[in-house]
Amino acid sequence: MNTLPTLFISHGSPMTALEPREAGAFMRRLGPAIEAAFGRPKAILAISAHSVTRAPVLLAAARHEAVYDFGGFDPRLQTLRYDAPGAPALATRVMSLLQGAGIEVDRSEDGGLDHGIWTPLRYMFPDAGIPVLPLAWPPSWSPARLFALGAAVAPLAEEGVLIVGSGSITHNLRMVFGGIPPAIDAPEIAESAAFRGWVLERSAAAAWPALLDYRQSAPHAVLMHPTDEHWLPFYVAAGAAGTAPAGLRLHDSLTFGCLAMDAYAFGPMAARLQSALEKSAAVV
């Protein structure tokens, strides 16, 4: 198996699990494209915006089930399942890597996959056969510190482990639910377009000083992320791809005019994954 690219995926609302739209269609192609280009991953290390802790914690259970960590949505969501094997052995490897980099990490035998993990994985790998290891992380950490966390686990990409950061490239829910909600297919607002365009350009150029200082450098950063826990997994995924990696956007779509569903791949093999996705789209 070749070195896997690392991924940042925007998982969107819990309703993405029932209403896939363009992003769900992309995720359906993403899993098969990974297998076609690199073979089936041995395991998945998942870093989600919805599994956050005061210090890093590995959820090293032998089995996982879907966690319904939301309320007020379609009750059919509570019937969806994703019963996946855990990855206790991988947890031991990750602990060694993090501790070797001077990063303290705890291990828990608890399990469960939040919707930021099971929603994309139900589309990518619907058989739920790949072991999953969630890494809960501190949202108080800076982008640079989270980039370093990713860098510490970078060897896993050469060992057949798919590293996935799950969040959202834009995430201001008050713009959707704070008044009269916009139409789901509303045109993109200018502030969202400016932020996404900035990320696209800086990622392609591997402009990490700016990206790591995004809250000061990116246009409308605070508006697009009043709190930034949905954006920060981007830095873990990027750091896991090596030193100053370029980011390749694999997908972009939008809901409600401001909630974007962009996905990025990092690392020297990102272009191979993009090529595999383009071939699958051509077949469809």
Domain locations in the chain? Answer: 6-283
Q: Give 121-174 pLDDT, tens digit per residue.
A: 999 999 999 999 999 999 999 999 999 999 999 999 999 999 999 999 999 988
The CATH number given to 6-283 is: 3.40.830.10
Strand 161-167 relative to strand 43-48, pairing: parallel
Q: Give 19-48 pLDDT, tens digit per residue.
A: 999 999 999 999 999 999 999 999 999 999
Residue 98 to residue 120: CA distance in whole angstroms: 26
Which pLDDT band holds residue 2 (cuts at 50, 70, 90)?
A: confident
For residue 1, the model assigns a pLDDT of 56
Whether pLDDT at 284 is above 80:
no
Mean pLDDT of 216-243: 97
| Neighbouring C-beta atoms of residue 193, cutoff 10 Å | 18
Percentage above 70 pLDDT, the chain: 99
Please, are residues 270 and 33 in contact by the beta-carbon 8 Å criterion? no
Q: Sheet of 57-59: strands edge to edge?
A: 106-108, 57-59, 132-136, 43-48, 161-167, 6-10, 263-266, 247-251
